[in-house]
């Protein structure tokens, strides 16, 4: 039987556009509420150490206004731990973080950083926060997550999406990993770099219960909404001219 595949929408890149001008528009909260009304199952946001997209206030607003869960992506650091606990999020996804990377470059190395990650997970779980860990599709990493008793893992799909030559191999690795997680009673999520064509394949893996997608959806929505937005602007301009109001230049 097919199980439901939930969709989480990552709104980081709405904040990236907002931050390019340092103002308030476009508001990631508004994007999150649209995603919610479109049937998204959760909203994902990555609070980075350098706050390059989502900010602390965004997290507070999202927690306050959303009816669907907020999945807070964060590095396993004490600063982020405090924020997660104080902001009363219910879900956290631990991700690696390098300052100079453009986006998350790979999964968290749980094997290498087990002690530190285990301490952070324990503290989050003490506050009833459901913990997921973003890892590469690798059985050894999943085994380490089983030992740490995480609620779920999120498999990094970046290699699968970007690697044109070994797509089949990457797919089977993700499939094998998802089956292994499910067998060990861990929920299996997946995300990173997913586009329409990638999703067609990944959605066939029955053991995956959630996909988290950001960049492509935010990018694609520009094309879906650009014409409508220009027409609205032209309409406002023409109506205003007709009423003989002067347009002030920005």
For residues 184 and 79, what is the distance between their CA atoms, to the nearest angstrom? 31
**58 counts as binding ligand PXP under rule CB under 6 A:** no
- The reply to whether 6 sits near ligand PXP by the rule CB under 6 A is no
192 catalytic? Reply is: yes
Q: What is the DSSP letter of 69?
A: P
Pairing label, strands 70-74, 208-213: unpaired
Q: What residues form DSSP beta bridges with 10?
A: 44
**R_g of the chain computed on alpha carbons:** 20
Whole-number Å distance between alpha carbons of 211 and 2: 15
**The binder of ligand PXP chosen from 31, 93, 144, 205 (CB under 6 A):** 93
- Region near ligand PXP per CB under 6 A, out of 81-89, 168-176, 177-185, 191-199: 191-199
The answer to whether residue 96 forms part of the interface with ligand PXP (CB under 6 A) is: no
Query: Binding of ligand PXP at residue 12 (CB under 6 A)?
Result: yes
- Minimum Å gap between C-beta 30 and ligand PXP is 18
Within 104-163, the residues that bind ligand PXP by CB under 6 A are: 104, 134, 154
Instruction: Specify whether the CB–CB gap between 157 and 191 falls below 8 A.
Output: yes
Q: Which is nearer to ligand PXP, 6 or 46 (CB)?
A: 46
Question: In whole angstroms, how close is the CB of 169 to ligand PXP at the nearest point?
Answer: 20
Q: Is residue 46 annotated as a catalytic residue, yes or no?
A: yes
189 carries an active-site annotation: no
Centre a 10 Å sphere on the Cβ of residue 117 and count the other Cβ atoms it contains: 22
Nearest distance, CB of residue 37 and ligand PXP, angstroms: 20
CA pair distance 63, 69, nearest whole angstrom: 8
Positions annotated as catalytic residues are: 46, 73, 192
């Amino acid at each position: 039987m097919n199980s439901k595949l939930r969709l989480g929408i990552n709104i980081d890149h709405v904040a990236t556009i907002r931050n390019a001008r340092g103002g308030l528009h476009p508001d990631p909260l508004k994007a999150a509420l649209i995603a919610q009304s479109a049937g998204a199952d959760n909203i994902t946001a990555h609070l980075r150490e350098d706050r390059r997209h989502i900010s602390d206030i965004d997290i507070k607003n999202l927690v306050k206004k959303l009816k669907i869960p907020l999945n807070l992506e964060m590095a396993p650091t004490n600063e982020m731990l405090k924020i997660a606990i104080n902001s009363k999020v219910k879900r956290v996804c631990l991700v690696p973080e390098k300052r100079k990377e453009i986006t998350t470059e790979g999964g968290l190395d749980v094997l290498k950083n087990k002690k530190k990650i285990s301490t952070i997970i324990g503290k989050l779980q003490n506050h009833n926060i459901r913990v997921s860990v973003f890892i590469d599709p690798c059985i050894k990493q999943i085994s380490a997550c089983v030992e740490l008793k995480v609620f779920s893992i999120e498999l990094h799909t970046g290699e699968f999406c970007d690697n044109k030559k070994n797509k089949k191999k990457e797919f089977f690795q993700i499939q094998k990993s998802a089956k292994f997680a499910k067998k060990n009673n861990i929920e299996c999520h997946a995300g990173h770099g997913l586009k329409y064509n990638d999703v067609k394949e990944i959605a066939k893996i029955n053991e995956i219960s959630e996909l988290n997608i950001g960049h492509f959806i935010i990018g694609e929505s520009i094309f879906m909404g650009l014409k409508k937005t220009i027409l609205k602007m032209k309409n406002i301009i023409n109506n205003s001219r007709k009423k003989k109001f002067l347009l002030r230049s920005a």
